[in-house]
Amino acid sequence: MHFPEDCIENLRALGYTGDEARFLYLVATHSGYFSTRQYLTFTSSRSGEKSMAFTQKVQGKGHGTARLLLRNGRVYHLCSRLVYRAIGRENLRNRREHSVEHIRTKLAILDFVLGHLDYRYLETESEKVDHFCKKLCLSRAILPAKRYAGAVRQKPTDRYFVDKFPLFFATEPSSSSVVTFSFVDPGMMSVGAFETHLLAYASLFAALPAVQLVYIATRPTQFESARRLFLAMTVRPSKTDPGAEVLRYFALRKFWDAKQYGVLTTQDIEFLNMAQNRFDDALTHIRYHQWAQNSISSEMVRQEFRDLAPKAEVRFNTELVDGQAALFELRVPNRNREIAQPKVTNGLQATFGPDFRAPFGGETQQAEEK
């Protein structure tokens, strides 16, 4: 977890200590809501007086409000525009009022983040879009999106990854280069919402050589059902023919190298732009020149790259979090009933190497945080 120094200093300037400022950064970025137990967990403290002083400070400065729940417990909402402005995210929706289910989801997210401060998170919408569109050269059209009506009726706005579930890189060397997705279940009695979530991400998952997802929940009831649903919706034959994609790349690159730009459509240039990360290994370059000189046939190229193409790697994990369930439920879930699920792995590593750097098209425009 990276705490930007300028953001922490801005929060300290509002009257908070270093620990308080770092905790507020986590809350503002990932949840908008917190409990005193979560604050004590972050500060490794058992002092009720310390948490009381902190929550009184937050409320006294007008930066947050308290909501009384079960067992005389409270959940705190960080709602001041000043706090979000201090970290450069004034328009984050976390500062707005939400439903009880939304609050429970956000508390579960914060529990997960507090338990994994060593992970590197893609925190903002723009960071997530840049990772998939610029680094991985995927089309923005396959990202999970929601369209909102704009101030001008004819100009709607598309927002991406609006669920704001943690998207991160774990620290293990074997998975450090592969982003891990997540879904947060705050105590639902079915996997219907998870199925809707998977449908929204289906196009993105289908375009990735490896998909890792962790199902985060406050009880293990739906773990097995979620695992079966995830595998049923993600483990499937690829819809693309890798041999055909390489041949398309060869044909379009040949036009580009010959400066026959008028032959290329907008879609062709977009394909070339996305291919710059995928087709720059030594073998592909050799085969391209052999194919362009008619030394090898298209059928030989097609078959070779079909054989080399990896199968998708799919991994499903589960994790129990407290989710501050005692604040919402008369009967608190038993934490000893955690069910461990095996990892499911299909396939190995990607075939193609680093960037092909010819400037086939313009840069993808960044999305702005909302």
Where is mean pLDDT largest: 52-66, 254-268, 337-351?
Answer: 52-66
| Residue 312 pLDDT | 67
Q: What is the distance, to the nearest Å, from the Cα of residue 288 to the centroid of all Cα atoms in its chain?
A: 35
Band the pLDDT of 10: cuts 50, 70, 90. very high
Cβ–Cβ contacts within 10 Å for residue 289, how many? 11
What is the rounded distance in angstroms from the CA atom of residue 49 to the CA atom of residue 53? 6
More confident residue, 117 or 93: 117
The pLDDT tens digits for 17-52 are: 999 999 999 999 999 999 999 999 999 988 788 899
Domain residue ranges in the chain: 5-97, 120-124+143-238+312-337, 242-308
- Classified by CATH at the fold level, domain 5-97 comes out as Arc Repressor Mutant, subunit A (1.10.10)
Q: 355 falls in which pLDDT band (50, 70, 90)?
A: very low
Asked if the model's pLDDT at residue 348 lies above 50, the reply is no
What's the pLDDT at 179?
Answer: 93
Judge whether residue 359 has pLDDT over 50. Answer: no
Q: Are 296 and 287 in contact (CB under 8 A)?
A: yes
Q: How confident is the model at residue 206 (pLDDT cuts 50, 70, 90)?
A: confident
Locate 225 and state its tokens.
């059902």
- Specify the pLDDT at position 309: 65
Q: What whole-number distance in Å separates Cα of residue 128 and Cα of residue 180?
A: 12
Q: How far, in Å, are 13, 69, 144, 271 from residue 173 at the CA level?
A: 38, 42, 28, 31
At how many degrees (to 10) do helices 18-30 and 5-12 cross? 110
Say if CB 139 and CB 188 are below 8 A apart.
Answer: no
